[in-house]
Copies of this chain bind each other. A is one copy, B any other.
Amino acid sequence: MTGKGIGYPVAQLAHVELFTPKPEESLWFFRDFLGMEPVAQEGQSVYLRGYEDNYTYSLKLTERDKPGLGHVAWRTFSREALEECARRLKDTPYGLGWSDGDLGHGPSYRIRTPDGHPMELVWELEYYTAPDGQRSQLKSRPQKRPLRGIPVRRIDHVNLMCKDPVPNREFFMDQLGFLWRESKLGEGGVEVGAWLSVSAIVHEVAVMRDRLGLGNRLHHVAYWYGYPQHIFDVADTAPDYGITVETGPGKHGTTQAYFMYVFEPGGNRVELFGDNGYLIFDPDWKTIVWDVSNEVDLERSSIWFGGKLPESFYTYGTPHPEVPAWVQRRVS
């Protein structure tokens, strides 16, 4: 075994940076509504964590004029895996060079997807140590569950909109060690989406076709609850706090996830993930293929329960040419 089967060099999603033009409102959303803990503020950025995130933070929220993806950080399996990958990528268009690190982590190697999404690979990550009075007796929980909002447990995955999913999927597979778990084919067998993972969950990353043809955009970042009731709690609470629900709660065919999609006030789409969908242990997994040019697969892959995803699900990403009014709606 040469170790590329499971996630070599990438072991896990470490954190995501989001840009927001409304930093205070976005902070309110993640801190007060989703119960995340702000752990630091530096420059134009606030760093936040879910109460079961292992490292210092999983979200860096940075003020910018437009919403979008700052970067995605992947932890490698080892220091050697990081260095070997950096060497391999440095003479390609995808290797962008080393950075000195950031709050809570050491040097990272900056890369980008073929589509242009900024990412970094990192090995050294600080574990979170809660301040006195905030430690949990539950040893797999780095801090107490907060008494604020409907608190998310940890970051789960990221979904990237691409001009063409294929080269991006191949990049994740060939360069970063991801396995291809599920696939959607559209008219003429054209690949319109891929779900990839380096662990038993169905995806730490998905790449989906950007119907606007722009590419290099963020579709969503997902946080995990593990219990479906909590996405119902979000749904029940969202309307009164002016949070726009795009769709859900529901269950995807792809990944079997109990999903819910909302927009944080800065305009980025956020998924709340209610269970684990299904897990993959098979070391010889055959990629699941949905042929969404036929009606049954189309309907079932999107929402297993029946129903359709709204048009915006296929066209809206951040940054968006013009942010629609319905994304920003605050009912107060």
**Residues on A facing B (Cβ under 8 Å):** 1-8, 11-13, 32-33, 52, 54, 75-78, 80-81, 133, 136-141, 144-145, 147-150, 153, 182, 199-202, 226-230, 232, 235-241, 244-245, 247-249, 251, 253, 255-256, 258, 275-276, 278-279, 281-284, 288-290, 296, 300-301, 304-307, 331-332
Contacts and interface: CB of A to CB of B under 8 A. Distances in A.
Contacts of A141: 256, 278
Contact of A3 (B5, B182, B199, B279): B5
Contacts of A235: 251, 304-306
Contacts of A138: 239-240, 253, 256, 300, 304
A253 B2 contact: no
B52 A12 contact: no
A300 B137 contact: yes
Given A136-B240, A276-B276, 13 more contacts: A1-B5, A1-B77, A2-B3, A13-B281, A137-B239, A138-B253, A140-B278, A147-B148, A200-B279, A227-B229, A235-B306, A236-B305, A247-B306
A266 B249 CA distance: 29
A139 B199 CA distance: 19
A201 B1 CA distance: 21
Instruction: Identify which of A4, A78, A281 gathers the most chain B CB atoms within 10 Å of its CB.
Output: A281
Given A138-B239, A241-B147, A332-B133, A1 B251 contact: no
A283 B148 contact: no
B249 A305 contact: yes
Contacts of A3: 1-6, 8
Contacts of A279: 199-201, 276
Nearest to A134: B240
Instruction: Identify which of A7, A32, A54, A200 gathers the most chain B CB atoms within 10 Å of its CB.
Output: A200
Contact of A296 (B144, B289, B331): B331
Given A240-B137, A240-B138, A283 B230 contact: no
Contact of A305 (B5, B77, B229, B245): B245
B281 A199 contact: yes
Contacts of A244: 306
